[in-house]
């Protein structure tokens, strides 16, 4: 709404006339609604009703349940963050690594597998 022209507003600044009741029943209903609203506000401990939000008195809120007993978190056990040892192949099963299709690395286990892979290329 910030980029819109002035005439596209969500609030109306027009002064309205006080509405008159058409009959006694609607006036009584309005008074009953106002009384029930006041009772509701008193039941929720609201002292003053105003359009200004800062003037409404609210109960203080405790941060993270400070009135509850404190539960300790995980104990501080310090362990060093050390890089794990490099994984190195120590066996003799794999002869090497070959490329089959589009840089697809394939392990080669013997000479015949290397010949078969070389014939599969396009």
Q: Are 109 and 96 in contact (CB under 8 A)?
A: no
Answer whether residue 51 is part of any domain.
Answer: yes
Domain hosting 119: range is 93-122
Q: How many domains does the chain have?
A: 2
Residue where one domain finishes, among candidates 39, 55, 71: 55
Answer whether residue 47 is part of any domain.
Answer: yes
Answer whether residue 79 is part of any domain.
Answer: no
CA distance 51 to 99: 74
What is the reported pTM? 0.28
Q: What is the pLDDT of residues 25-70, one digit of tens each?
A: 999 999 999 999 889 888 888 776 666 555 556 666 666 656 666 6
Answer whether residue 122 is part of any domain.
Answer: yes
Answer whether residue 107 is part of any domain.
Answer: yes
- pLDDT given at position 81: 83
Going from the C-alpha of 98 to that of each of 89, 90, 92, 93, 112, the distances in angstroms are: 16, 19, 16, 15, 12
* CA pseudo-torsion sign 61, 65, 68, 72: negative
């Amino acid at each position: 709404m910030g980029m819109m022209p002035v005439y596209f507003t969500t609030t109306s600044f027009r002064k309205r006339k006080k509405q008159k009741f058409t009959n006694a029943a609607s006036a009584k209903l309005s008074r009953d609604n106002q009384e029930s609203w006041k009772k509701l506000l008193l039941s929720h401990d609201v002292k003053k009703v105003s359009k200004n939000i800062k003037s409404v008195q609210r109960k203080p809120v405790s941060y993270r349940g400070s009135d509850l007993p404190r539960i300790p978190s995980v104990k501080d056990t310090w362990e060093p963050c050390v890089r794990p040892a490099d994984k190195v192949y120590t066996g003799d099963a794999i002869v090497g690594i070959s490329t089959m299709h589009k840089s697809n690395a394939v392990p080669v286990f013997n000479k015949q597998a290397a010949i078969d892979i070389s014939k599969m290329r396009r």
